[in-house]
């Protein structure tokens, strides 16, 4: 029986036998040693962080238990795409975002060198039959089940993975931003869009421990937690670059989104822009914004089962698979994750913090920061040229509206 089935079964029994106030609920705990968990109903354990998710009917007693350092509720996480209605921009080019960020000007040698970099996409899994994903033969892991079986019922994870590290050798208009970078798909949702911070943390730790150099997190929530902070710190301390979607609350109060708001100068929180390079109205404006990338009607691969309202289908000439447009900061972040892999491929001696700084310094804001687009729109060709120590391709002035 799965941990969710065990929790549900235990909860139903509890509801029958005891008052609702004493029904089992899942919480996260920090512990000193494995002995502190003995006798508890442990649902998930993230051993490197000394964190676990447990089901309990008595939180007060759990807090007093020897070896338990802290107890918190679990916090929900949601994917940050496919939730915003945007009037058509009239974009007719397929992968227009590739040209908008000048990723199409990166030398083939750098795209090929990216094969030594692994990009992990922590999300709703992926459709491994999608041509852009299948061609990469991705490393897979399911942080909920603890197996290597992943799937994708929403289409979101497939879309994000295709942008970050989809194949560039299929000969069609869709290609990933990471060149030949290896793809790691880490599923962190229990069912459709059901995430929590413990599963997110388990996914981050697994990705770090299994060779990811760049981790994309197109997920978020309005509250953070100790387990999420610990997981982010774990990745940073291991030299892994975290890229996170900044959030879609621009039209609803600019509520901060986590984990993006935790990254600081050690990662990249990515806002969304339109086809003309202006801030997308739904994209969260906040002090933690690092950089921006296209996030309105972005082309990506998805699954046949994905919602047609979230992912309006697009016919891509001579391309197998299912392609669609997606809107949200979810789809801006993986472009930056792919660009980070190319920068690292161009100059392997860089640290993760140096890759962050280089991407920010070469964005089109020319070193000026604002809380809507950070240091400006991603310029992949400029960033790669800086990493190589060569002049960037000539810049065409983009007309903004």
Q: Which of 74, 107, 123 is the last residue of a domain?
A: 74
DSSP string, 324-355: EEE-SHHHHHHHHHHHHHHHHHH-TT--HHHH
- In this prediction, residue 87 carries a pLDDT of 44
Same domain, 49 and 198: no
Q: Is the pLDDT of residue 17 over 60?
A: no
Residue 66 lies in a domain: yes
Q: Is the pLDDT of residue 245 over 50?
A: yes
Residue 398 lies in a domain: no
Same domain, 47 and 109: no
Question: How does pLDDT run across 328-360, given as a tens digit for each residue?
Answer: 999 999 999 999 999 999 999 999 999 999 999
Residue 392, CA distances (Å) to 7, 316, 342 in order: 56, 30, 14
pLDDT confidence bin for 13, thresholds 50/70/90: very low
Please answer whether residues 125 and 185 qualify as being in contact, where contact means their C-beta atoms are separated by less than 8 angstroms.
Answer: yes
Residue 131 lies in a domain: yes
Residue 321 lies in a domain: yes
Q: Specify the range with the lowest mean pLDDT, choosing from 5-9, 35-39, 225-229, 344-348.
A: 5-9
Q: Which of 52, 74, 96 is the last residue of a domain?
A: 74
Same domain, 197 and 261: yes
Please answer whether residues 285 and 262 qualify as being in contact, where contact means their C-beta atoms are separated by less than 8 angstroms.
Answer: no
Q: Which of 25, 46, 74 is the last residue of a domain?
A: 74
Same domain, 340 and 269: yes
Q: Is the pLDDT of residue 6 over 50?
A: no
CA–CA separation, 43 and 360 (whole Å): 40
- In this prediction, residue 54 carries a pLDDT of 97
Same domain, 68 and 118: no
Q: Is the pLDDT of residue 396 over 80?
A: no
pLDDT confidence bin for 89, thresholds 50/70/90: very low
Same domain, 17 and 54: yes
Residue 300 lies in a domain: yes
Residue 400 lies in a domain: no
Q: Which long-range contacts (CB under 8 A, 24 or more apart) does 249-254 make?
A: 249/282, 249/284, 250/279, 250/280, 250/281, 250/282, 250/283, 250/284, 250/285, 251/84, 251/281, 251/282, 254/284, 254/285, 254/286
Same domain, 203 and 70: no
Residue 396 lies in a domain: no
CA–CA separation, 189 and 191 (whole Å): 6
CATH code of residue 27 = 3.30.70.80
pLDDT confidence bin for 11, thresholds 50/70/90: very low
- In this prediction, residue 193 carries a pLDDT of 73
- In this prediction, residue 397 carries a pLDDT of 56
Residue 349 lies in a domain: yes
The percent of residues in the chain predicted with pLDDT above 70, rounded, is: 88
Q: Is the pLDDT of residue 85 over 60?
A: no
Positions marked active-site: 123, 156, 330
Same domain, 227 and 371: yes
Q: Is the pLDDT of residue 4 over 70?
A: no
Question: How does pLDDT run across 300-330, given as a tens digit for each residue?
Answer: 999 999 998 889 998 877 778 899 999 999 9
More confidently predicted of 285 and 400: 285
Q: Is the pLDDT of residue 94 over 60?
A: no
Same domain, 192 and 289: yes
Q: Which domain holds residue 335?
A: 78-388
- pTM attached to this predicted model: 0.91
CATH code of residue 287 = 3.40.50.200
Q: Is the pLDDT of residue 71 over 60?
A: yes
pLDDT confidence bin for 172, thresholds 50/70/90: low
Same domain, 149 and 48: no
Same domain, 70 and 201: no
Same domain, 44 and 90: no
- In this prediction, residue 319 carries a pLDDT of 75
- In this prediction, residue 283 carries a pLDDT of 97
pLDDT confidence bin for 18, thresholds 50/70/90: very low
CA–CA separation, 394 and 35 (whole Å): 62
pLDDT confidence bin for 178, thresholds 50/70/90: very high
- In this prediction, residue 95 carries a pLDDT of 67
pLDDT confidence bin for 165, thresholds 50/70/90: very high
For residue 273, the SS3 value is strand
**What is the number of domains present in the chain?**
2
Question: How does pLDDT run across 130-158, given as a tens digit for each residue?
Answer: 999 999 999 999 999 999 999 999 999 99
């Amino acid at each position: 029986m799965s941990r969710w089935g065990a929790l549900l079964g235990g909860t139903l029994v509890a509801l029958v036998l005891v008052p609702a106030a004493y029904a089992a609920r899942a919480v996260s705990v920090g512990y000193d040693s494995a002995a502190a968990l003995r006798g508890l109903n442990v649902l998930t354990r993230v051993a490197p962080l000394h964190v676990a998710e447990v089901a309990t009917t008595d939180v007060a007693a759990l807090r007093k238990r020897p070896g338990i350092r802290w107890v918190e509720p679990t916090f929900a996480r949601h994917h940050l795409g496919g939730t915003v209605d945007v009037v058509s921009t009239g974009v007719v080019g397929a992968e227009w975002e590739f040209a908008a960020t000048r990723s199409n000007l990166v030398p083939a040698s750098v795209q090929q060198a990216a094969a030594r970099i692994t990009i992990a996409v922590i999300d709703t899994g992926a459709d491994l039959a999608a041509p852009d994903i299948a061609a990469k033969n991705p490393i897979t892991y399911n942080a909920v089940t603890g197996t290597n079986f992943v799937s994708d019922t929403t289409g979101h994870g497939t879309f994000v993975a295709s942008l970050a590290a989809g194949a560039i050798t299929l000969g069609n208009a869709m290609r990933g931003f990471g060149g030949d970078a290896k793809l790691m798909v880490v599923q962190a949702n229990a069912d459709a869009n059901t995430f929590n911070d413990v599963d997110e943390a388990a996914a981050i730790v697994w990705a770090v421990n299994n060779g990811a150099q760049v981790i994309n997190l197109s997920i978020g929530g309005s509250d953070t937690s100790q387990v999420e902070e610990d997981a982010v710190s774990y990745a940073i301390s291991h030299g892994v670059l975290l890229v996170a979607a900044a959030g879609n609350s621009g039209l609803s109060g600019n509520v901060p989104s986590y984990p993006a708001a935790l990254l600081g100068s050690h990662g990249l929180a990515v806002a969304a822009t339109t086809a003309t390079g202006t801030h997308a109205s739904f994209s969260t404006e906040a002090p933690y914004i690092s950089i921006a990338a296209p996030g309105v009607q972005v082309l990506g691969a998805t699954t046949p089962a994905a919602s047609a309202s979230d992912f309006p289908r697009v016919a891509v000439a001579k391309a197998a698979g299912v392609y669609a447009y997606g809107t949200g900061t979810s789809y801006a972040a993986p472009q930056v994750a792919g660009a980070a892999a190319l920068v690292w491929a161009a100059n392997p001696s860089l640290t993760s913090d140096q890759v962050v700084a280089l991407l920010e310094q070469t964005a089109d804001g020319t070193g000026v920061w604002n809380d809507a687009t950070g240091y400006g729109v991603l310029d992949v060709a400029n960033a790669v040229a800086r990493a190589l120590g060569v002049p960037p391709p000539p810049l065409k002035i983009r007309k903004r509206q």
